[in-house]
Amino acid sequence: MSILVNKNTRLLVQGITGKEGSYHAERSAEYGANLVAGVTPGKGGQQFMDSVPVFDTVQDAVGKTGADASLIFVPPAFAADAIVEAVDAGIKVVACITEGIPVQDTIKVVRYIRDKDVTLVGPNCPGIISPGENFKMGIMPGHIHMSGTTGVVSRSGTLTYEAVSQLTALNIGQSTCVGIGGDPVSGVTFIDILQRFQSDPKTDSVVMIGEIGGTKEQEAAEYIKSDFTKPIVSLIVGQSAPPGKRMGHAGAIITGSAGKAEEKIKALSSAGVAIVPRPGAIGTTLQQAID
């Protein structure tokens, strides 16, 4: 089974005529996603891949194709407006890949969607993939995934791919993999995704990848301690990062003691999470946890 998306999800891509948008839209369609529309203002009436109609607005695309999920490849200055446009058009799941969106813009978007029936993944994320549903909306390499019952949720795109590669090599398939993004402010949190994995009868274990900065991992630990019942392992990266220096993602910066890797590891360990000792041991640590 999967969370957030499935084989019946009708996908549109905002920014589909751009270099990144067109490339990843095609890869998503090749993987099996039901790509029904693209949106680029001023390019309405064109065709993508000879069969996918391009529209000027998301509202028009939804009205004509019934799209209910949007993958966003829009430049940072316009990405917040693109998210709001998708939400206002009735899109239920939005994955925003765009990196470098001003934090103030994201704060406004998160406030705007707070009481709306929409799930925002990202920004600055790799997206979502459910191998068993042959559905991908994002930039992850589809060939490394295999269908199974382990959920993956991560702040890091690259480490998501590393985790999946290790799992697949051990014949541990994945139900859904979600990259929640590495910005200081984002849509879904670890808790949001963990709650969905907890409710999903076809997800029986979870890999969670966190990093320095913020308190998302500690918040997840509190939820895990009280309400999560499935085997879960976690890798926290950035253990050698110096305070005050950003390490990769905009949100990966220690601005207080809670942002340190050791504090996150302590919280998760106390919640019963098996801690992955190093990036190369993600798969084997999960294997031990589920045996």
Q: Are 76 and 104 in contact (CB under 8 A)?
A: no
24, 143, 145, 249: the active-site residue = 249
Rg (CA), the chain: 18
Measured between alpha carbons, how far is 154 from 90 in angstroms, rounded to an integer?
27
d(CA 209, CA 190): 9
Closest alpha carbon to 70 in 100, 33, 96: 96
Two tokens at 140?
């992850």
Does the bond joining 201 to the residue before it have cis omega, within 30 degrees of 0?
Answer: no
Please say if 249 is a catalytic residue. Answer: yes
Q: Are 32 and 7 in contact (CB under 8 A)?
A: yes
Q: Catalytic residue numbers?
A: 249
